[in-house]
Amino acid sequence: DTEVTQTPKHLVMGMTNKKSLKCEQHMGHRAMYWYKQKAKKPPELMFVYSYEKLSINESVPSRFSPECPNSSLLNLHLHALQPEDSALYLCASTHPHVNTEAFFGQGTRLTVV
Amino acid sequence: DAKTTQPNSMESNEEEPVHLPCNHSTISGTDYIHWYRQLPSQGPEYVIHGLTSNVNNRMASLAIAEDRKSSTLILHRATLRDAAVYYCILRDPQNTGNQFYFGTGTSLTVIP
Residues B60-76: tens digit of each pLDDT: 999 999 999 999 999 99
Please report the pLDDT score of residue B2 as a whole number: 55
A92 touching B, CB under 8 A?
A: yes
Give the C-alpha separation, A101 to B1, whole Å. 17
Please report the pLDDT score of residue A62 as a whole number: 96
Question: Which residues of chain A from 15 to 54 reach within 8 Å of chain B, CB to CB?
Answer: 33, 35, 42-45, 48, 50
Question: What DSSP designation does A52 have?
Answer: T
CA-closest candidate to residue A75, choices A89, A61, A96, A55: A89
Mean pLDDT for B9-34 is 95
Please report the pLDDT score of residue B66 as a whole number: 96
Beta strands in A2-94 (DSSP E): 4-7, 10-13, 18-25, 31-37, 44-50, 53-57, 64-70, 73-79, 87-94
**A92 burial level (CB within 10 Å; 0-12, 13-18, 19+):** buried
Name the minimum distance, in Å, from the CA of A15 to any CA of chain B.
Answer: 25
Please report the pLDDT score of residue B98 as a whole number: 66
Structure confidence by residue, pLDDT tens digits, B80-105 = 999 999 999 999 888 876 688 898 99
Give ∠ CA B78-A88-A84 in degrees, rounded to 5. 130
Which of B44, B99, B104 is nearest residue A45 as measured by Cβ atoms? B99
When pLDDT is cut at 50, 70 and 90, the band that residue A112 belongs to is very high
Mean pLDDT for B14-27 is 96
CA-closest candidate to residue B93, choices A91, A96, A51: A96
Q: Residue A93: which residues within 8 A CB-CB, separation 6 or more? A: A4, A23, A25, A27, A29, A31, A32, A33, A74, A102, A103
Q: How many CB atoms lie within 10 A of CB B54?
A: 12
Q: How many CB atoms lie within 10 A of CB A33?
A: 26
User: Using the beta-carbon criterion (under 8 Å), do B104 and A42 form an inter-chain contact?
Assistant: yes
Q: How many CB atoms lie within 10 A of CB B8?
A: 9
User: Using the beta-carbon criterion (under 8 Å), do A100 and B43 form an inter-chain contact?
Assistant: no
Backbone phi and psi for residue B3, each to the nearest 5 degrees, phi listed first: -110, 145
